Structure 1
């Protein structure tokens, strides 16, 4: 009598993606539609696309009446990108939540790369590659590549594909939904509100994921690539310096919200290695070298201002009434 054939172990169920696009202004409605159009063809039958409208009833109505293939929801939290993203996470039912900016479009097969990367159970999050799509066709001559983060895009000094990173760039990131639920999502104390150029909510998320899931990794995946629209208004020197200053203030808030030494670890390495070498690299382009130096100065000034403000606020709270 022959022995029965061994039973094959059951295959892992297919990964379900929930793509979340957060938007807040009708000025970008065509870009939101482009983001949706780049996503829908890449969705499998079990995936879902959620568009979160941040406290704009007119935009919600316009998208609800014209968009096919996406669920249009209103943000149920406080105004701002962090609240909108948390609404998206609360609405999502997938295994992995993919976040896409409202002015970014997925490259072909980008979501296939997400599925492939998350087949590894040790991966808790990934950050994609973010290529700038300059409205004017090219970056300003004075703009240093080391400061691509000012416009929400890749910058010189980012790790290679597959390397572990502290946190992703918000325009293209993906995180396991259960992990986001565990850490409470994104902090309402950080993140952009309308046109106010704050940030660092992704950094705090990355730190929280590392603390809660020390045996997992967040990695960079350059095949998960998006094209990020950069409007002309974000190419002025005024915007550049304002964004640097507010990033510094956000870093001060980040440092106040976490006690871990990793809060500013990447920034210290970036300043010591990338910015110093950047000055030499741009030595034959004085405008770029000056922009790099002033960008660092304004970011530092924002950090100092934010640190002092936070300490004064803490002192007022501790003072007996």
Structure 2
């Protein structure tokens, strides 16, 4: 499934679809879910009118990525549903490596490794690898290989259909909504919810399942970095409100107490050795932590005053011939 929302990414969308259609393990189908953009939906329908393996759908729920994913899940026919960002391309064995993880019946989700493609041609010297999640990519601190994790990362992930049958769909009101504030964490909330209803569930990341994600120049700037880290704090507050602080911040504790201090130390060491960007990376890590903490505090206050700000869409069986949208009236951020 590829969720799309703007014609500005037309060439990226075509490249993403082509990478799926070229997989060594073919997909049963490729779903393009269009988020409330009729001209884009019409254009994609014309583009793939003769492609029997590509279906173009309109988001049947409120505007945003979560409702779009829920629309696609309900309309899909496969036993495993994989998600690819609309500005990314998958390596040829991406689906093959996902499929291998499901040989174990306990596995409910498998994610992969996302590598940035910087629009400027190279990583900005100040941009720390520990914060590559800011641009939707795998960050320093995640363990290598095929490992068990609390949650997969949404733009490069897959789930068994039975996971959605057990836990419901993605929560609306928590994730991205087009070009508005870049919230996130909808896949984190879903994975924690899934683990609660299925305590035996195993969630994996396999770093052989690789996609390459384009990072536009606007997201290489410090202003976006600051905005995105603040928004992550807001999102984490919503998740903690829903699933509890213990589970909601379980992985983040290790990240902030071990991974980030080590990153600051590396940056300062590089600065002392006169290596480019060392001081900038150390400063960016500190700024990112402060921004995220600020967002979390603001989000926590808002959540206490207004209660949970999102809802979970109940999904049907998704059998061919039936289409189920997000729950009517769902709040969306």
TM-score (norm: length of structure 2): 0.86
Residue equivalent to 1:86: 70
Q: Contact conserved, 1:106 with 1:226, CA < 8 A, in 2?
A: yes
Residue equivalent to 2:90: 106
Query: Larger relative contact order (C-alpha < 8 A, sep ≥ 6)?
Result: 2
Q: Which has the larger radius of gyration?
A: 1
Long gaps (5+) in structure 1? 1-19, 316-321
Q: Residue 44 of structure 1: CA displacement?
A: 5.6
Q: Work out whether 1:36 is the aligned partner of 2:20.
A: no
Residue equivalent to 2:118: 134
Aligned residues: 296
Residue equivalent to 2:280: 287
CA gap 1:37/1:314 in 2 versus in 1, 3 angstroms? closer
CA gap 1:228/1:28 in 2 versus in 1, 3 angstroms? same
Residue equivalent to 1:207: 192
SS of residue matched to 1:42: coil
Q: Work out whether 1:268 is the aligned partner of 2:249.
A: no
Q: Distance in 1 between matches of 2:24 and 2:92?
A: 11
Q: Contact conserved, 1:157 with 1:270, CA < 8 A, in 2?
A: yes
CA gap 1:238/1:46 in 2 versus in 1, 3 angstroms? closer
Q: Contact conserved, 2:98 with 2:111, CA < 8 A, in 1?
A: no
CA distances 1:256-291 after superposition (whole Å, capped 9, x unpaired): 111362111111110000111111011121111111
List, as ranges, runs of 4+ consecutive aligned residues in structure 1 with deviation greater than 3 Å.
Answer: 43-46
Long gaps (5+) in structure 2? 272-277, 309-333
Residue equivalent to 1:65: 46
Q: Distance in 1 between matches of 2:65 and 2:36?
A: 11
Aligned pair partner of 1:27 in 8, 11, 23? 8
Q: Distance in 1 between matches of 2:159 and 2:307?
A: 33
Q: Residue 46 of structure 1: CA displacement?
A: 7.0
Residue equivalent to 2:140: 156
Q: Residue 308 of structure 1: CA displacement?
A: 1.0
CA gap 1:268/1:46 in 2 versus in 1, 3 angstroms? closer
Q: Contact conserved, 1:159 with 1:165, CA < 8 A, in 2?
A: no
Q: Work out whether 1:277 is the aligned partner of 2:262.
A: yes
Q: Residue 181 of structure 1: CA displacement?
A: 2.5
- Please, what is the CA RMSD of the aligned residues? 1.4
Q: Distance in 1 between matches of 2:38 and 2:285?
A: 40
